Amino acid sequence: MGIVHAKEKKHGLASPNINYDDCDSVESREINLEGVRARVDRIHINGLARTKDDYVKGVVQDLFDANDFQDVLLKAHTVRNKLNSMGCFQNIGVFIDTSKGPKATPDGLEITFYVRELKRVVGGINTQVGDNEGSLVIGLRAPNMFGRGERIQTEFSYGSKNTNNFNLSFVKPFTGRHNPVFSTSVYQANSEWPSSGYKQVDLGFILDYGINSWPLIRHNFQWDVAVRDLSVLTKGSSFAIREESGSSLKSALRHIFSIDVRDDNIFPSCGSLFKFTTEAAGAGGDVGFVKNDVFLQTNLSLIGDCVLQTSANAGILNSLGNDWKLGLMDMYYLGGPLSLRGFRMRGVGPHSEGDALGSTWFWASGLHLFTPLPFRPGKGGFGELFRTHLFVNAGNIGNFEGDEDFMEKVKTNIRVAYGIGVAMRLGQMARIEINYCFPHSFQETDLSQPGVQFGIGVHFL
């Protein structure tokens, strides 16, 4: 149980008296809340057990700054959201009352948050089917371990083809102005890339420190160490892929800079997202490169619910020299329903016997016009999960080689595809797209996919 007292503040004018008890009566009255002076005297938080007081204190502190009743209500709501996002509590109730007792000020309020803490260990077992393989996933989570939001998560999946994946992570948020969060994880991940003809097993370790330098600007500093074991997927994989098999050790430092001022993750109607990633591998290990990626998305609201979205994505990879390895998994690939629509997965760029080899630079851009479904069936409800979109994608990919002018190379042989489709929101994170694509210009070596294309994912171009 935590109680927070407000410091005494001087008040100028006495506020009009309002009988709050009347609010329950049948007769309704309109009150201008902005005009109602109010002051928060005390905040109770009911239901804290292992959560430390000081950890919650910082979150509710804002409420004491409220001057009028509307402010109190709004701030109480944000505090509730913040408490919710801490991931320590199950459900949170807010109760506002006039303050009583000897220390009560004339228009003082007492706010009580009723919280219920999550259990010490939460877990689940489920099964997954996909990629010709079924797997059993066991997940365990220990939220709010030491009372200050620390949590340990572990997930272990046991596949029918003896592919075991696991992930063990520890997250520690700090209180402070810049919202620093420290997290570390150990993982093993199996992945198969039929379009490139290889599969890989990663065994790695990540240290991550995230901080806000400005309210909406997020920096992430990461150190990623991974042993990557690459092997051919089938006997028929091309020799170029076979040549790359074996183990390598990557130790990379990464900086991610992101600004997200969009109003929604999946179907934003305004705002932009900018993300810049710099990765330098070579601090130990035998893989060495410097990689710069940039992603930009802007949304513009047009008439009605129509949204014009432009996005651009580009990356450059520089090897540190011949003494350093550069794995297939470090390269850039282009094509597929999530990046350059109208092409097969990794279908653009150099191939060897049908297996995509990856390149050292790429750029891709897209122009989308999102509109609600025609005739708006299920308006305001189910129908809001869907959007139709018209799009044009363009992009290019290649390698640094020879003495050709780089800019010249970037400009020639641009691949373009356009099309129309339906997108569906899947929760708060993912979306599904079904598109009919018309590849407009492409190279002979590219694997284009005119017609219907289906895509599901988190990050779309």
Q: Which residues bind other proteins (CB under 8 A)?
A: 162, 227, 230-232, 235, 239, 242-243, 245-249, 284-286
- 170 forms beta bridges with 152, 184
The answer to whether the beta carbons of residues 232 and 197 sit under 8 Å apart is: yes
We find the least distance from the C-beta atom of residue 89 to other proteins, in angstroms, to be 21
We find the least distance from the C-beta atom of residue 243 to other proteins, in angstroms, to be 6
We find the least distance from the C-beta atom of residue 284 to other proteins, in angstroms, to be 7
We find the least distance from the C-beta atom of residue 296 to other proteins, in angstroms, to be 36
* Closer CB to other proteins, 227 or 426, in the complex: 227
Q: In angstroms, what CA-CA distances link 82 with 56, 92, 134, 139, 227?
A: 10, 11, 38, 25, 38
* Closer CB to other proteins, 29 or 235, in the complex: 235
Residue 346 backbone phi and psi in degrees, to 5: 55, 30
* Closer CB to other proteins, 117 or 229, in the complex: 229
We find the least distance from the C-beta atom of residue 239 to other proteins, in angstroms, to be 7
* Closer CB to other proteins, 182 or 187, in the complex: 187
* Closer CB to other proteins, 68 or 355, in the complex: 355
* Closer CB to other proteins, 42 or 228, in the complex: 228
* Closer CB to other proteins, 60 or 241, in the complex: 241
We find the least distance from the C-beta atom of residue 287 to other proteins, in angstroms, to be 9
We find the least distance from the C-beta atom of residue 286 to other proteins, in angstroms, to be 5
